[in-house]
């Protein structure tokens, strides 16, 4: 089954969940080279959803794809957010970030997002794995599906950007 834009979905799920953490993963085959996906991946201002930002503006995102680099967002008046820190970067193969994203950031949680690119016969397997653990003042079992949806949205937006040149879902004919 192909999605709009051609990416073949492989898996989307909450892999595991407990009182102290969860793991989610999203995976698809993108009909593009690992080099093309990597080039887009390291420009999150082109694909990360502004709906999942503090500023509401995607162009405020940046990523320094080297160990110790920042996946950051500029805020008005000189402010900023470090969403995650790069802990592993292998060009065209893997990017691993350490950071509790979104509402997880205010809790005593650690999150590790691993983005893996594996060339295959029909394109490149693009996989996002996000593992979160620690203490939170809310039920991690209840928030895991929402985090899975957000991670899935970002993975789909990156794939769509590579395939179509735009991360946004195309509007239906006749819609405003």
Evaluate whether residue 3 is within a structural domain.
no
Q: What is the CATH number of the domain that holds 133?
A: 3.30.530.20
Evaluate whether residue 38 is within a structural domain.
yes
What pTM value is reported for the model?
A: 0.91
| Contacts of residue 106, Cβ cutoff 8 Å, sequence gap at least 6 | none
Whether 143 contacts 29, CB under 8 Å: no
Evaluate whether residue 176 is within a structural domain.
no
Given this model, what pLDDT does residue 175 score? 61
Q: Is 46 helix (H, G, I), strand (E, B) or coil?
A: helix
Evaluate whether residue 73 is within a structural domain.
yes
Evaluate whether residue 169 is within a structural domain.
no
pLDDT of 6 > 80? The answer is: no
Evaluate whether residue 174 is within a structural domain.
no
DSSP characters over 67-127:
TT-EEEEE-GGG-EEEEEEEEEEETTTEEEEE---GGGGGSEEEEEEEEEEEEETTEEEEE
pLDDT of 12 > 60? The answer is: no
Given this model, what pLDDT does residue 176 score? 61
The pair phi, psi for residue 79, each rounded to 5°, is -80, 175
Given this model, what pLDDT does residue 169 score? 87
pLDDT of 3 > 50? The answer is: no
Q: Across residues 121-134, what is the average pLDDT?
A: 97
- Average pLDDT over the chain reads 92
Q: What confidence tens digit (pLDDT) does each residue in 38-90 have?
A: 999 999 999 999 999 999 999 999 999 999 999 999 999 999 999 999 999 99
Evaluate whether residue 135 is within a structural domain.
yes
What CA–CA distances, in Å, run from 38 to 13, 42, 143, 158?
23, 6, 29, 10
Range of the domain at 76: 8-164
Domain count, the chain: 1
Evaluate whether residue 99 is within a structural domain.
yes
Q: What confidence tens digit (pLDDT) does each residue in 24-46 have?
A: 999 999 999 999 999 999 999 99
């Amino acid at each position: 089954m192909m999605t709009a834009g051609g990416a073949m979905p492989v898996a989307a799920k909450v892999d595991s969940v407990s009182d102290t953490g969860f793991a989610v993963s999203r995976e698809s085959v993108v009909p593009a080279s690992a080099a093309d996906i990597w080039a887009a991946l390291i420009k999150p201002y082109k694909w990360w959803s502004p709906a999942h930002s503090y500023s509401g503006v995607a162009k405020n995102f940046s990523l320094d794809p080297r160990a110790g680099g920042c996946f950051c967002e500029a805020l008005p008046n000189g402010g900023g957010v470090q969403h995650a820190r790069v802990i592993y970067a292998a060009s065209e193969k893997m990017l691993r970030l350490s950071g509790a994203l979104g509402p997880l950031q205010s809790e005593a949680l650690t999150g590790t997002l691993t983005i893996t690119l594996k060339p295959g016969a029909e394109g490149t397997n693009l996989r996002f794995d996000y593992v979160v653990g620690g203490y939170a003042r809310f039920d991690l079992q209840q928030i895991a599906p929402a985090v899975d949806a957000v991670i899935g949205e970002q993975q789909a937006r990156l794939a769509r950007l590579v395939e179509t040149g735009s991360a946004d879902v195309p509007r239906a004919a006749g819609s405003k």
